[in-house]
A and B are shown apart, each in its own frame.
Chain A
Amino acid sequence: MIEVKNIGKTYKTGDIEYQALKGISLTIKDGEFLAIMGPSGSGKSTLMHILGALDKPSSGNYILDGKDVSEYSEDELARIRKQKIGFVFQSFNLLPRTTVLRNVMLPLIYAGVPKGEREERAKMALKAASFEESHFLNLSNQLSGGQIQRVAIARALVNNPSLILADEPTGNLDTKTGEIVLGTFQKLNSEGHTIVLITHERDVAEHARRIVFLRDGVVLSDELNKNQVMAKT
C-alpha cells in the first residue's frame, strides 16, 4: 500500500529553481496495475524516482507500507529499495558478459539471502517472467531484446517486492516484443503483484487497469481504465 500526500519536488541549479512536482497525491493499493502517463517534462520520471526510493521529495509525505520514508537517509532508502522495490528500466541494465541466472540473483546478494536459496528463487522468478529455461546460463549479451527485458523483469521480481516500477519498459523494443513484455506484466499483476508503469505512450498505458495522467507537475486525471487492452502474446 502506497500513499503519496501532496508531494512537491524542486530542483535548484545555481539560482534557478525548477518545480518538477507541484503537490501530487496518490494512493496505490496492493495488487493494482497503474500507468503513470504524461509528456516529457510532466514530472513522471521525478515521481517514479520518489516512488522507487531513489530520491526524496522536497515537501509532502511518502508512506510505503505504513512507514513514512520521506526523510530517510540514502542508506536507509537503499534498504527500502532492496526489500520493497523492483525496477525495470528502458535500457535493461543487465550486467554485461554475465549469465542470466547471475543477473537475476544479484539483488538477493545485497538482500543477504543465503547462497543455497538464491538459485532456486532466481529460477522461479525467471519462470514467472516467462523466460525460457534453456537460456538460463546464456550470457546477457547473447539474448534478444525481449529476452533481456524478461530477465530484467525477473530480476525485479526476485525479492518479492511490494512494488514493481517499470520505466518505459517497451521504449527500446519493437511493437511485437513490447506486447510480449506488457503481457508478462499483466500476467504478474493477475498473480497479485503491484505494478506501476511509467510511459508517455497511450497505447502502452492502455494495458494498465488505472491511468494517472500528469502534466507540468500536477495530476490532470486519475481514473480506472475501462477499456484495458490485453496484450497479444
Chain B
Amino acid sequence: MSWFSPIPQTQFDSYNAAHLLWRAGFGGTWEDAVSLAQVGLKGAVDKLVDFPGAKETAPPDFVTPPESDAAFQQRIRGLDKEARSSERQKREEGERGKITDLKFWWLTRMLTTEHPLEEKMTLFWHSHFASSFNEKIEACYPMWLQNDMFRRNALAPFPVLLGKVIRDPAMLVWLDNAESRGGRPNENFARELMELFTLGVGNYGENDVKAAARSLTGYTIDRETWTFHFNPEWHDAGQKTYLGQTGAWDGDDVVRIITSQQASARFMARKYLEFFVYQNPEPDLLETAAALYRDSAPGPFLHALFESEVFYSAKAKDSIVKSPVVLAIGALKAMRVPVPEKEVLADALRLMGQDLFFPPDVNGWPGGMAWINSNMLLVRYNFANFLLNGVSPGEFKMFNRKAAAPGERRREFVEHQRDSSVLEWNPREQLRELGADRGMMTTADVVDYYIREFLQRRMPAEVHQQLEDFLETDAAGGHRSFSLDDSNFDERIRGLVHLIMSSPDYQLC
C-alpha cells in the first residue's frame, strides 16, 4: 500500500463517508453519510477541512473574568468569619457552575456545528495540551480563553500554536510557569513542554529541561485580568545551551528550536495518526507521515490524510475506541435530539472518564483501550439506557432508580423532558415518515434501518435475526407480529437501539 495515495473516487461510498464523519467529526445520521458521499471524496474532505475558521469567537454570556483576588478581599473585609467563608464558598460554587455551563456550551457546539473538524481539533488540542480547571486555576474564564485559543488555531502551523501556548494564562498557571523566575526556575512547564507536547521522552536531556525552564522564566500572567504578561525582572536573560544551540534564549527561541527538531515532526505525526487513523502505526507509515507533516501546514496534511489509502484501510476501519464525548455526541446525532439536561450529561461523561476541562493529568486522556475497563464499559452501556429510557443508575443525579418502578421512571423522564424543554426522541414519527417515503415496513427493514442509523456498518445475519426476533417477542416471551401500531412499539424500538448501543461494536468507530 502506498500510505498517502488517495483512494479511487468510486470507493468513496456512504460507508466510507460515515467513517470519515466519525473520525473527522462526531458521526452523524446515515442520511448525513449518504449526502457526504454524493459530493465525492475531494468535495467531502474540502467540506470538512476547509472550514472558515472562527476569528474572534464571542464568549458565551456567562463567561466573564472572575473577580480579582484583591477586589474579593476588599469586598469581604469587615465581614465576620462565617460570612467570609460563605462568600468564599459562593465564589467557588459560582465558578464550578460556570465551568459546567461551559461544558454544555461546547458539547452543544459539537452537536450542532457545520464544521465538526474544528471542534474535533479543539478537542484534540485540549487533550494534547491538557490543562485542568482543578487545583490551581478554579476559574472558568481562563479555561474559556484556552478553549477559544485552540479553536481559533485549530489548524494553525505548529510553531504559531506553540507560541500561543507558552503565553496561555491557564497553561502558565496549571504548570506553574507563572511563578517561575530566574535563579530558581520552576521546571514543571519546561519538562512537560518537551516530554508531552512536542518531542517525547528520549529526545532531550535533563540539562535541556533546565535550559528551557530558564528561557521561560518571566512568562507569567497578570492575576487581576488573567492576561499574559512578560516580566523582564523575572526573566533569566543569560546564555543557555538548549538542544545543542547556545544563546540568550527566551520562550520564542525555545519554540523555534523545538519545532526545528526532526523528533518534533515524528512526535506530532504519531499523535495525528493515533487520533485519526490507528494506534501503533508502522515505522514506515510514521516516517512517511512525519515527512508529510514537516512539509505541509496542518490543513493540507489532513487533506492528504483524509483522502488516503491508509485512512480507509481495513486496519483503520472500526479500530478506534470512541472517546466518551464522541460516543455521546454520535448517539445524540443519530437520535436527532439536542444535548440533554446538562448536569446529567456532565455526570455521564465524568463517569465514562472524559470530564471536559478536567483531564486526569497533564498527559490528557490516554485514549484507545484505556477508555475501556469493566467500570467504564458498563457506564457506557448504561448511558445508552439513560438516553433511551431515562434510566440513570448511580451517580446520575436526575433520577433515583430506587424511587420508582421501571414504568414510573420512563413516565417521569418524559415529564422531565417536557419540563426542561428537552426534545423527546420520537422513533414512531421518524419511522412513519421513512415508511411513507420508502415503503419500509417489514421487521427486517426496521432492524436494518436502526443498525445503519446507529452503527453504520452491517451485522451478521444471525445477529440480525435475533434483533428481528426481539421486535417480535410478546409480553410472555412468545412470538407475535410487529407493527407501527403496537401499543408498546416505542419500548421495542428503544430496546432494540439499546441493544445496538450495548454491543462492543458500537464502542468502536
Q: Do A and B associate with each other? A: no
